[in-house]
Structure 1
Amino acid sequence: MNINILFYLCCFVLFGFANGQVPQQMLNKLVCIEQEACGACLSAAAHCRWCADPYFSSKVPRCNDDERPAKNYPLDLYYLMDLTWSMKDDKETLVSLRDDLPSMLKNLTDNFRLGFGSFADKPVLPYINVDERRRANPCNAEEQTCGAIKKNDEQCHLDDNGYYSEYSIYDYPSLAQVYRLLDKYKVNVIFAVTERVKDHYDSIHQLMDDFTYVAKLESDSSNILKLVKMGYEDIVSVVDFEDDSNLGPVRVKYFTDCGVKGGSLIESTRCSGVEYGMTLNYEVHVTLDACPEYKKSNQTILIKESQLGQDYLTLEVEIQCGCDCEGSSSQGSSLNCPVNSHLVCGVCQCNKGWSGPSCDCSIENEAASMALVSQCRDPTSANHMPCSGAGDCLCGECECDPGFSGRYCQCKACQISRENSIECGGVGRGSCVCGQCACADGWSGDACDCTIRNDTCVAPGGTELCSGHGTCACGRCDCASSEEGSKYTGAFCETCATCENPLCAHAEPCVSCYLSKNCTDVCVISGTNYTVAEKLTDADIEDSDAVSCILRVEENSMECEYRYTYSTSTKEMVAMEIIIRAKQCSQLTSARLMTSALIIMACVVAGGIMVIMGVKSAQIVSDRRAYAKFIQEAEESRLNTQELNPLYISPISEFRLPDSFPRDKND
């Protein structure tokens, strides 16, 4: 990869690069390029790669390393300088740099070539001084005479001495011409100009920013080395890929990490800030947008780096849009293909001059074919496609695609009613008129499925629209939420998660009547007609408007649970339809008997305990009363006997003589 740079020093300087490596890189490269066989190449070092292309150039080693040459760009520098009198001091500066410039370039890259050139402004307006004497002869200072100019022919006119011989005839190339040449040969131009004209060259740079750079030059060109170094570093810090995939159906996308270690790949062709030693990972994704024709084709894509050199990668893509079986047509008769047809890839295809599903429509010449096709065009429509582009023209008649109708397939199908899945709601609601539903009285909507009646929103036995819990729209209830936050449900918004369903209770008599075989086909409750049917095999409720209820009854000493649903009826004179969905019965089991016995026993035991506790309580009360009486009597006895034992009997007997008994004097 070779970088070419043109350096313009109001004044041009032109750069170009050659191939060199630092010593270690060169050693790594030599390990690979010395190998002459694929096996030896791949085993020589981990970074060695072998090119197996049989048309590979013999001038380049097939075994090479995988290091990017961007690490040490080869450089061709062409220094193009204005040698008019105004650049006299700049010329002297350049002469003084004859040793410093090569030394500086050697620090940038190991392989470079340096060239010098000169030019002078053309001796015609607007390139010359507008002084009258200068205008008369712009070259009088050089004792020369100048002539007219023509449009640049992009050809190289050199004389035997290597000088441009047509300078006085051809104009400078235009910016568009310059850009094409810079892009073709990958030349980078550095405009080293003074402050006075820098704005002008900034405008040129905006038009050719891919290959041009503008640098401010000191009045005596003393900073030329710095500008060369900065220009080189700026150029090699950008990597940008481009291709010519826009010429075909294959598209190319680029994904790169731009040298960020561990970074994710992003879609981009350009990386900036590339430094010495960086490795940029690129992924190229090739996709096929569409098949322009149903046949095989090839596309060659050139992928190249737009900034640095003329190397490119050729990508040859074989596009398989056709079929390999198109030539096999000898089996048409064996596969029952119609007359005037043949087999192509397993499908019967009409022979030339015939068309139609059975290949029985003759179109022997183009005029006949066009006449048949014209019969399939709607003369009143701006759409002149056969069958309005919504069908196939078969022998002058349109066979419309699904969803289209009419003589020329100009009418779209009408809306299907969500209620009964019939176009425009069916008979009595509306009819389809070339893609639009014409609704009957009492119906509206795109599919005539919106009734203007509101009596269908009143629940049987009720008086309020949607049970007072919603609004009626198109004959259906739009339910609101309850105060607890749960949403009312049912065809009439009659129930919610925390509410009792009044219609379940309203329908129970009809279900009981049906189960007892005492009802006719229609059950009437409070002026509402019900029908009851059984579908015990249907476990699921298919009707979205149906609400489930439960009825428990006793049958033959058994407890049976019936699950039934009710929904609005589509039959005449019937308001509600009740369908018994499931039945489950169970007998009294021993467990239930045991439970009952235990309950009875528990009651008996509890009663006995209560009686015993009553008697015991009475006894305790009686004892307490007797004890209290005893205490009271003991207290009284203690007071009378001076606290002696009232049961104590003294052993002393005392007798007294009557006073009338005679006593002696000694007594």
Structure 2
Amino acid sequence: MIGKKKKDEVIFQVKITATECVQNQTLTIRPLGFTDTLTVNISSRCDCECDEERLDPSVCSGHGKVDCGICRCDSGFIGKNCDCETGGKSNKELEKTCRKDNASVICSGLGDCVCGQCACHTNDDPKKLIYGTFCECDNTNCELHDGQVCGGAERGHCDCGKCKCNLGFEGSACHCRSTTDGCKIDKGSVCSGRGKCECNTCLCRNGYQRPFCKECPGCPSPCARYIACVECKAFQSGPLEKNCSKACSNIILKETLSGGKACREKDSQNCWISYKIFQEDGEEQYSVTVNPEKECPEPPNIAAIVGGIIAGVALIGLLLLLVWRFVTELIDRREYHRFEKEKAKARWNDADNPLFKSATTTVVNPQFGGQQG
């Protein structure tokens, strides 16, 4: 019942199986949430006396015998009149072909499975038809306009849940007259070739915006995407040079453009190319006007580069030499100061040296007694 609207037809299926003989039983059926009820009187024929008038055996199509008023079919045949040849399939296998999927009921609950095919029920309303492979379609369950299905016979008709509009009308309920005046800019194409006009309004696709499907804010910029085509078309160079006409058939060079997007991109030679690109009506058709002058970087000065390298190497060598000389000087000074400290600590005594001999010799006269007066 979820999703049903007013005036929608709802079909309930109830299956009752008698496990024993039933005599004049009464059942009341009432769906939850409804006040309407259905009372069913049930009685069963417990014994088959076969006292009714015997049927002509020809009603079983020559593939069975009449027994107690019904056809008892020969092996390989089924059906009320034994007119269905099973081809080795079971009754369940034949019923499977009458289901739209495993979760569906047989023939959508609106028909009978006869020999593996749906035979749709007829309806008390002669205007309502039930049809389709699985009896899933009808000609009444469509949108209403002005209280009529698909706006009435003048505007369209219902076909399997969708309105098929007559010439001159359109819309989901055939509620609009066919016209495209509001979907064009001046003499341009309908919805710029990037949508369809319904009820005189553009229904754009692929991210393009109303009213005329001209702009696509979320689409990637065509500048970087088509720089290779612009290069090969305007300058006969780049990665697409040999296959330019085929790979860039949607790019048309023009001398001037009244509108479009300004682009500035680098080409395969690292040069800047300035151009304007305009999307024509349709999905992938562009017009381009290109500035014939590229902005290429100046070539490097080889002499300056070589001289700079040599000067750099010489400067690095000189710096390394100065660092080496400075470190050596520090080491020498540290060793000298250490020597001076050791020298200051030493206490030298000449007499203590057994090998030392003075440079002067003193001779004493034993006869000398002092000075004479």
**TM-score tier (shorter):** 0.3 to 0.5
Asked which structure has the greater RCO (Cα within 8 Å, sep 6+), the reply is 1
Question: Counting strand residues as a fraction of each chain, which structure ranks higher?
Answer: 1
